[in-house]
Amino acid sequence: LAAIVLVVANVVNLICDAVYMKVFDMGVRGAALATLTGYFVGLFVTVPYIKSKSRSLHFDFKSLSFSAFTEIFICGLPNAFNSVLMTVKMLVLNRTAIDILGDNGASAVAICNNCLSFASIFIGGSAQTMLPIIGVLYGENDRRGMIAAVKKALQVVIGAGILMIIVFEIFPRQVALLFNVKTDELMNIAIMAIRLFGLSLPFFAVVYVFISFYQASAKRGFAIAITLCEGLVFIVPLILVLSRLFTKNGIGIWLTFVINEVCVLLMIFIVGNIIKSKTNKDNILLLDSEIQKSLDISIKAEVNNATILSEKVCTFCEENGVDKSRANAAGLAVEEMTVNIITYGYKMKKNENIDIIVRINGDEIIIRIRDNGIPFNPFEYIPDKDMKEIESNIGGIAILKKIARSAEYSRALGFNNLIIKV
């Protein structure tokens, strides 16, 4: 939903830019009004979800928790800082552009800002989609899943950034005409601005993904530091210096976009590697070294696969030093829960997969089972009284509760998630 809101808001913003600036000839005032219109429409996109009875987010004012509020507040700080610093950055950019280029400078900054809105449809959408996924995977300590999610997000945003470079480098005049550029002087400035700004987009995309990842994986201090560097620490001095060194068509101003993102990216890798060398981390994502032994399996949602899965889990546990009784307990837990999921969670679905990860962490076996069936909590499910499976179902759950140290269920991103510790 967050990605949809962002995409809708930016698409409406771009359409309104063309209407307000080209049709109604409103200039920079039209660009500001277009942004307001876009995010106002984006707000209404959330209304169907808020009114939906099946939504997973509910307001419960009776259970207000100061500690939970504090955690949410801290988690959102990188985004809050980004919004505040964006305002500061635009003020400095506009002031500098007006000082050097007059009103044409302000218009060129507005054009770059709208190009950024277009880029955010792909870059921001991918990062916002990644946030909840990383949050869930981090909570499950699914290291491989987090790495895979970041790789996929980087592939999408870098690809989008390169495509936008091609568009902005080859068709800068056509892009400028979308914003009702009329004079030759402004056109020359706009072409230079669009081309140099476009070069910054792949670097900006990677930085944005890293900020989103660190925010979702409880490395908020680093995420805030990156946000500060990107929106204030690097860009303000660069604008003030480069704008005075390269004044023709404001080259120094537009060059700032590229150099700023490159500097931030270098800072991430330098500081990230320093943190990695001083802590038990093994890559730039600052994830804990994978010292746990793990088994990662996906099976088709068919009952006969549950027995095969159970045997693989038992074998894996025994091969990694777990005594036979606990290995059998882990295998039994996986088999019972998998059968329950297939029987009751996939009543309306066929040919689906169930993902299972088994980790050995010291003397503890951690089992994570994920499926995309209907919302189904096996610990609360009560079958129809006429169903013959009721006795075996209750027996299976009862056995699991006896052999497991803990068992938790959650529903996130359309997936059922079971965490069982044996």
Q: Is residue 185 part of a domain?
A: yes
* Counted domains in the chain: 3
> Same structural domain for residues 151 and 252?
yes
Helix axes 303-319, 324-340, angle to 10 degrees: 160
Confirm whether 56 is domain-assigned. no
Asked if 226 and 277 sit in the same domain, the reply is yes
Buried b (16+ CB within 10 A) or exposed e, 275-293: ebeeeebeebbbbeeeebe
Distance CA 65, CA 53 (A): 24
Residue with tokens 């808020």: 50
Are residues 23 and 46 located together in one domain of the fold?
yes
Asked, for residue 287, whether it belongs to a domain, the answer is no
283: helix, strand or coil: coil
d(CA 190, CA 409): 54
- Using CB atoms within 10 A of its CB, is residue 51 exposed (0-12), middle (13-18) or buried (19+)? exposed
- Write out the DSSP string of 60-123: -GGG--HHHHHHHHHHTHHHHHHHHHHHHHHHHHHHHHHHHHTHHHHHHHHHHHHHHHHHHHHH
243 and 298 in a common domain = no
Cα 415 from Cα 372, distance rounded (Å): 5
- SS3 state of residue 10: helix
Q: What is the CATH classification number for the domain harbouring 329?
A: 3.30.565.10
**Domain assignment of residue 16, given as a range:** 1-50
Q: How far is CA 27 from CA 14, 94, 259, in A?
A: 14, 15, 29
Amino acid (one-letter) located at 332? L
Confirm whether 60 is domain-assigned.
no
Whether 46 maps to a domain, the answer reads: yes
Q: Are residues 231 and 131 in the same domain?
A: yes
Walk along the chain (422 residues) and give the pLDDT tens digit of each residue: 666 787 788 888 878 887 887 788 787 678 778 888 988 898 888 888 777 776 666 666 676 777 767 777 777 788 788 888 888 888 999 999 999 999 999 989 989 988 888 888 778 777 777 877 888 788 777 787 888 889 999 999 999 999 999 999 999 999 999 888 889 999 999 999 999 999 999 999 999 999 989 988 888 889 999 999 999 999 999 999 999 999 888 999 999 999 999 999 999 999 999 998 888 787 888 887 665 678 888 888 888 888 899 999 999 999 988 888 889 989 988 888 888 888 877 766 666 888 898 988 777 888 888 888 877 777 765 554 444 444 444 456 777 777 788 888 887 777 888 888 88
Single-letter residue type at 138: Y
